[in-house]
Amino acid sequence: MRRTLLALTCLTPLLTGVTHAATPVDQVAVIVNDGVILKSDVEARISDLRFQAQQRGGAVPADQQLFNTAREQLIMENLQLQLATRNGIRPDDNAVNAAIANLAKQNNLSLDAFRAQLDSTPGTSFAYLRNAIAREQVIERMRQRRMNDRISISEADINQFMATPAGVELNRQLDVQLDKAPAKAPEPQAPVLEYLLTQVLVPVEEGTNAAEQIRLADIAQQLLRLQMQNMSPEQAIDSFKGKAPEAAIEPLGWRGEAQVPDLLLAPLERQLAGGEPELTRSPRGWHLLWLLDRREKRSPENLLPPPPPVPTTVVKQREVRHILMRPNDLQSSEDIREAMNVMYKKLKNGADFSELARLKSQDPGSAVKGGELGWVSPGDMVPEFDRMIGLTPIGGLSQPFQSSFGWHILRVDGEREKDMRETVLRDRAKQILFARAYDEELGAWLRELRAEAYVDFRGGR
């Protein structure tokens, strides 16, 4: 049953090593900063990796390769979970519950029946699955936060993308969703294909001396020769028999060309045109791309991010001013609330909002403009502020209310309808460019995280 669930749910290898209880003879396999990985965790992950390889129908890697891969996966997960804890990222119970309910539905079971089946199956349990999903979601949120900090998409990048055929198609598809263009795609329409991709990375750290760089380049060349002999990534790495522990397999999954990282796009196009594989150099090291399979997608719309929730880009905006005061070491939240109540009475009695904002507001960006925030669309602000904008009548004042930024009083000066089509279009283009850069930047960050970690291997294999 446990193997069946792995196949059905398509969960990542995080399902391994989540709730294994340490037996009396269990041993610490790795110390990772201030955390540990148990030998039982490594063995369970090896078992899952072997099962996944068998499911793909390819050659199962040698035991040592499985051991190295399992141990490294667990190290990286441990590091990311530690960082998430330090950043205050916790599991979202609602999101976890929704994921479990979806898995039960996929298995054609009620939630109670799904729980009972898991708890009655040796090697797994409902708590085991729930913990695994929570870990997976925490790691994904940690990655998203880091990538948002590291990936910058400029207006010039968006302009350049919009001038490409992909940008023109994005524009056309938005018009289709808004019923401003025929739903039928222009003719002739090429079939939309996806490719099953895996890359092998031979990392080259910054500051590596010349001799080591030559050695790593030679390893990459040897891997390339093995790839040209039609070896799988696992077979190519395993053929080194431990002489290239640096090389790492990074499955990319099924992707259309629009989702392929820019670095790997040229090697993919070369292989699609019948050319031989080639090495690609980046700041991370040497990359080799394996094109494992291809398939035709059902719908070209899948190339784009999801459409807007409603078939319109016209939104009601409100013109807003606010006054913000924040608690500090000298004034508690209750002190600030009382001060804001006094200010609210003054405003109700005719005090000038703009003048009070200039004198009292602790939002430097708007205070100099008399508290002016300009025209605000639904969803632009934090939920508490967004809700209060909607509740406040035109020309009216809100009572003091609290958000994550502090205490506010806001005034709504006007309302208008605004067509946000261009904003929606550019936001979608930004999402596509972000997705293209995501994998490469994520890989670079994970390498940095690993290089900075304290890792102590206990015992051997």
For the segment 237-281, what is each residue's pLDDT rounded down to a tens digit? 877 765 666 677 887 888 888 778 888 888 999 999 888 999 999
pLDDT tens digit sequence for 329-382: 888 989 999 999 999 999 999 999 999 999 999 999 999 999 999 999 888 898
Q: What is the DSSP letter of 295?
A: E
Q: Which amino acid type is present at position 144?
A: Q
pLDDT tens digit sequence for 110-154: 999 999 998 888 767 899 889 989 999 999 999 999 999 999 999
Distance CA 179, CA 308 (A): 13
Listed in sequence order, the DSSP H helices in 230-332 are: 233-238, 262-272
Q: How many CB atoms lie within 10 A of CB 245?
A: 12
List the one residue out of 284, 202, 278, 211 whose CA is nearest residue 237: 202
pLDDT tens digit sequence for 385-442: 999 999 999 999 999 999 888 999 999 999 999 888 898 899 889 988 998 888 888 8
Cβ contacts of residue 179 below 8 Å, gap of 6+? 311
User: At 310, is the pLDDT very low, low, confident or very high (cuts 50, 70, 90)?
Assistant: very low
Determine contact, residues 318/415, Cβ cutoff 8 Å: yes
Written as six digits, the tokens of 247 are 């090389």
Residue with tokens 């072997």: 50
Distance CA 25, CA 36 (A): 16
Q: What is the mean pLDDT of the chain?
A: 83
Residue with tokens 């369970």: 44
Written as six digits, the tokens of 183 are 């739903």
Q: What is the pLDDT of residue 254?
A: 82
User: At 304, is the pLDDT very low, low, confident or very high (cuts 50, 70, 90)?
Assistant: very low
Q: What is the pLDDT of residue 36?
A: 93
- Domains of the chain are 2-149 (1.10.4030.10), 188-306+432-451 (3.10.50.40), 314-418 (3.10.50.40)
Number of residues assigned to the chain = 461
List the one residue out of 211, 198, 293 whose CA is nearest residue 247: 198
User: How far from chain centre, in Å, is Cα 162?
Assistant: 24
User: How far from chain centre, in Å, is Cα 146?
Assistant: 9
0.75 exceeded by pTM: no
At residue 397, the 3 state secondary structure works out as strand
Cβ contacts of residue 163 below 8 Å, gap of 6+? none
Q: What is the pLDDT of residue 7?
A: 35
